Amino acid sequence: MAIILGIESSCDETGVAIYSHENGLIANKIYTQIPLHQEYGGVVPELASRDHIKRIIPLIDEAIKEANINKTDINAISYTNGPGLNGALLVGSGVAVSIGYALNIPVIPIHHMEGHLLSTLLSDDNIEAPFIALLVSGGHSQIIKVTQIGEYELIGDTLDDAAGEAFDKTAKMLGLPYPGGKYIAELALKAKHDIYNLPRPMLHSKDLQMSFSGLKTAVLTLINTLTKNQTILDEATKANLSLSIEEAITDVLVSKIELASKITGIKKVVISGGVSSNLKLRNKFDKISQLKTYYPPLKFCTDNGAMIAIAGAIRYNLRKYDYKFNVKPRFKLTELDKIP
Ligand SMILES: Nc1ncnc2c1ncn2[C@@H]1O[C@H](COP(=O)(O)OP(=O)(O)OP(=O)(O)O)[C@@H](O)[C@H]1O
Ligand SMILES: [Mg+2]
């Protein structure tokens, strides 16, 4: 039995959470930098690192208070060591390693995408491997065959943009704020039909590869045509375009997972990462009777400390005392140590 402090700082959210083997998640604190980066239309790495440094210690103090424990009750610290922005990762790593050294407790590096994958365990569902994981976030669109927790085989990937990136880039074309996925989803609710019927890239490719950059180009071409006689798109057109974008992206994801299930014979699916908060996507999956699909609670779909804390709690038995700054801005999920 142990209490784990989890730290996430790979991109634009400072997340701190505390997970107890006995009582589950006992604290969860998050500071999002989205407003800070919004005026630039995307994440500015240097600003991200500087802000993580400002927020991280106060958030840790708040989390310890929320959990109603003392610092010395913490048995281990887990932190995201990659993939992500180098400077941002170094903040979490530096703080985790320093606290671990001071308290003489294990420090457990966590792969950010394993965090997303395991965030589903923060729901009430009892999920047991084997299952297929669809990791759909701002930087990833991956299909993973999970034989057991810690054993990951990459069976599908995007050739170019991630699904979240496709939402964000097309949202930008519509003049929506960053990150655009949730704004597309909100606007799509105001449209009735998928009137533009955008391309579903690689839908019939018979493999698990995906590609979203063609969709981006199709949206740009369509916007150029629609704005020929006017300078800006009206709200109704933006809503129709949003629905068509959402339909196209979610159709591809659903179809690739149906194929993955056919190929592997596995009928359980875990969907996580920021795009898994998309309700249309969830609806489409829930309608497929041959599949049983699991999702993280909505607040744990985008980056958070809770997923790093629970991943740390699971990897605690590795007992790694790793007091090195150990960040890997590029890091494959398939390179992880197996859990004994
Ligand atoms: N309701 C929604 N519908 C579609 N996309 C959404 C929704 N909510 C959030 N997203 C998308 O989720 C992404 C952010 O998710 P997340 O925080 O998991 O990604 P990330 O951490 O930036 O990327 P990675 O985990 O690959 O490093 C953004 O691209 C955002 O537009
Ligand atoms: Mg993420």
Q: Are 107 and 327 in contact (CB under 8 A)?
A: no
12 alpha carbon, closest ligand: 1
In this prediction the pTM is 0.94
Adjacent-strand bridge partners of 80: 110
Structural domains of the chain in order of their starting residue, each with its CATH number:
3-118+301-335 (3.30.420.40), 129-295 (3.30.420.40)
13 alpha carbon, closest ligand: 1
Output the DSSP codes for 148-195. Answer: ETTEEEEEE-BSSS-HHHHHHHHHHHTTPPSS-HHHHHHHHTT--S--
33 alpha carbon, closest ligand: 1
Q: What is the pLDDT of residue 246?
A: 98
Q: What is the pLDDT of residue 115?
A: 98
**Residue 335: what residue type?**
E
Asked whether the bond before 199 is cis by omega within 30 degrees of 0, the reply is: no
Q: What is the pLDDT of residue 337?
A: 80
CA of 272 to the centre of ligand 1 (A): 10
301 alpha carbon, closest ligand: 1
Residue owning the nearest CA to atom 22 of ligand 1: 138
- pLDDT per position in the chain (340 positions), as tens? 899 999 999 999 999 999 999 999 999 999 999 999 988 988 999 999 999 999 999 999 999 999 999 999 999 999 999 999 999 999 999 999 999 999 999 999 999 999 999 999 999 888 999 999 999 999 999 999 999 999 999 999 999 999 999 999 999 999 999 999 999 999 999 998 999 989 999 999 999 999 999 999 999 999 999 988 666 889 999 999 999 999 999 999 999 999 999 999 999 999 999 999 999 999 999 999 999 999 999 999 999 999 999 999 999 976 555 667 779 999 999 888 888 7
Q: What is the pLDDT of residue 256?
A: 98
Cβ neighbours of 148 (radius 10 Å): 11
Any ligand 1 atom below 6 A from CB of 201? no
Q: What is the pLDDT of residue 230?
A: 67
Residue owning the nearest CA to atom 30 of ligand 1: 181
Any ligand 1 atom below 6 A from CB of 182? yes
Adjacent-strand bridge partners of 76: 4
Residue owning the nearest CA to atom 25 of ligand 1: 137
Residue 182 to residue 272: CA distance in whole angstroms: 15
CA of 303 to the centre of ligand 2 (A): 5
Residue 88 to residue 79: CA distance in whole angstroms: 12
Q: Are 50 and 195 in contact (CB under 8 A)?
A: no
Q: Are 311 and 6 in contact (CB under 8 A)?
A: yes
Any ligand 1 atom below 6 A from CB of 275? yes
Q: What is the pLDDT of residue 321?
A: 59
Any ligand 1 atom below 6 A from CB of 179? yes
Indicate the top mutation candidate among 134, 154, 182 to test ligand 1's pocket, ranked by most ligand atoms within 8 A of CB: 182
